[in-house]
Amino acid sequence: MPLEFAVTVEGQDQGYWVLDVDPVGERLLLALEDRVLRWVPQDTCRFLKMMNPDQPRAVIPVAPQTPLVLGSTPSLNLNGGR
């Protein structure tokens, strides 16, 4: 999930959501238009906007995991080899 702010990079008109900040705080991880993740020096970025904390967040539905049925895995022996 991206962080809650976006930046523009020098020489580009498009804004990008910040995905991560390096531990030292000198670089920002962005996904640029070529679909490659890039660490960009923070001093070449300019703050663009912040996400409204009241906005709904995306929810990604996930299919439920199939439960393990005893005896369905032949290599699993729960009877101690009997």
Instruction: Give a three-class secondary structure readout of 40-63.
Output: EEHHHEEEEEECCCCCCCCCCCCC
Q: What is the pLDDT of residue 57?
A: 64
Q: What is the pLDDT of residue 39?
A: 94
Please say if the pLDDT value at position 65 is more than 80: no
Please say if the pLDDT value at position 51 is more than 60: yes
Q: What is the pLDDT of residue 26?
A: 92
Q: Which residues contact 43 (CB under 8 A, 6 or more apart)?
A: 26
Question: pLDDT tens, 20-44?
Answer: 898 888 999 998 888 889 999 999 9
Ordered domains of the chain (ranges, CATH): 5-50 (2.30.30)
In this prediction, residue 73 has a pLDDT band, given cuts at 50, 70 and 90, of: low
Distances in whole angstroms, Cα of residue 8 to Cα of each of 23, 39, 60, 82? 21, 13, 27, 66
Amino acid letter for position 38: R
**With contact defined as beta carbons under 8 Å apart, do 40 and 28 qualify?**
yes
**Owner of token pair 């020098």:** 10
CA distance 27 to 11: 17
In this prediction, residue 77 has a pLDDT band, given cuts at 50, 70 and 90, of: low
